[in-house]
Amino acid sequence: MSALLPRHLGSFLLGIGITVLASMSAFGDGLGYYRWPTVSSESLVFASEGDLWRASLDGAAPTRLTTHVEEESAPALSPDGKWVAFDAHYDGAREVYVMPLEGGSPTQLTFEGGGATVCGWTPSGKVIYRSLDIPGPTRRCVLRTIDPVAQTIETIPFLDATDVTYTDDGETLYLTRFGIALTGDNVRQYRGGVMAQLWRMSTGADSAERLGADFDAPIRDPMWWQGRVYFISDKSGHDNIWSVDPSGHDAQQHTSLTGWALRHARMRDGVIYYQRGADLYRHDLAAEQQSKIDIRIVSDRDDARLRWLEKPLDYFESARPGGEGKSAAVTARGRVAVLFPSPRRRVDLDIPVAGRARSAIIGPKGEWVYLVLDQDRFGELWRFPSN
């Protein structure tokens, strides 16, 4: 046995060395994790390492736009390509900001105490954002627009709308309602009651019409282009690009992808940009061709530095079984996850960003999680679905 030890040890060390060298090679090549693509006629803006970056449309020569220690996300370039709106946690709560694409100090546009998420721009140059700042039950939302100069806010009168696209003349809105943007879940092929829907309404109207009710699959990330509404759906079993006519009929599938989900899709001049896995892609509708955008960022990779936790259990609060012993609620660092035996996935509860959860327990039937949420002067008793 002692004669075999060096051979096994050598193989183990060789494997470690190959892994380390591969990691160093990936870092040296400038590979990163890229999200939220948005484009103008000349520039591509995306998020990586918690900051915003700017590159040419082919991904060349990326430069860092923001350096704040807090995360910036959901960038959206203005129609004239001069401004970029985004949301960030600069002062604790997530709010909407805008800054010049050429660089400059961000200006805060919303003061809602958190939950503001950028969705895009109107054709007239107003920032569109999703807001949780409405009276009534929790986790309801509306879409609002804000003028970045006058900072006047208008609410689109359609409850639980999560995203919107405008026709070129700005007279008609195509909105999505419900979906995972509300639930915070990553479930695939969901066909339940809060499945994302497509709706149409006129500017200034107080009512909307549902479209594509017989599509029987979620519709998200709506994008208007040349008389059709393009969107992302997993109707085929995997996320792909689809479109319908202005009345919600004549559904057409434009890609046949499998595997990684398509996220954060945005349109510019007939080209759809989206995230798939850790990379960004573009799909040319006219040519019906898609390609990966080759992005190589130059960074000190500060987030990849080794960090030692002397007492990791200091971050752990509790783990309580429930649901007839078939699940457990784990609380750590103010967040709660529900764990199940394989093959069920872990569920991360959608705790408000400005809140801190504690003392989570699962109800007797396993359907609900009860916890104390601290986000004001006093703790509140909250209930979340366990799935």
Taking 3-state DSSP, the helix, strand and coil percentages for the chain, each rounded to the nearest 5, stand at 10, 45, 50
Tell me if 141 sits within 8 A of 162, measured CB to CB: yes
Question: pLDDT averaged over the chain?
Answer: 88
Structure tokens at 238: 């995997």
Tell me the percentage of the chain whose pLDDT exceeds 70: 89
pLDDT of residue 29: 62
- Is CATH 3.30.460.10 what the domain over 35-292 is classified as, yes or no? no
Return the minimum-mean-pLDDT range out of 120-129, 164-173, 369-378. 369-378
pLDDT tens-place string over residues 55-64 = 999 999 899 9
Q: pLDDT tier at 27 (50, 70, 90 boundaries)?
A: very low
Distance CA 131, CA 151 (A): 15
Other CB atoms within 10 Å distance of the CB of residue 234: 18
Output the pTM of the full model: 0.79
Is the pLDDT score of 366 beyond 90?
Answer: no
Tell me if 259 sits within 8 A of 30, measured CB to CB: no
Relative to beta strand 379-385, strand 368-374 is: antiparallel
The residues, ordered by sequence, that sit 6+ positions from 135 with a Cβ below 8 Å of its Cβ are none
pLDDT of residue 15: 52
Higher-confidence residue of 11 and 288: namely: 288
User: Would you kindly state where each structural domain of the chain is located, as residue ranges?
Assistant: 35-292, 308-385
Higher-confidence residue of 323 and 311: namely: 311
Question: Counting beta carbons within 10 angstroms of the beta carbon of residue 125, is it exposed (0 to 12), middle (13 to 18) or buried (19 or more)?
Answer: middle
Distance CA 381, CA 384 (A): 10
Question: Counting beta carbons within 10 angstroms of the beta carbon of residue 380, is it exposed (0 to 12), middle (13 to 18) or buried (19 or more)?
Answer: exposed
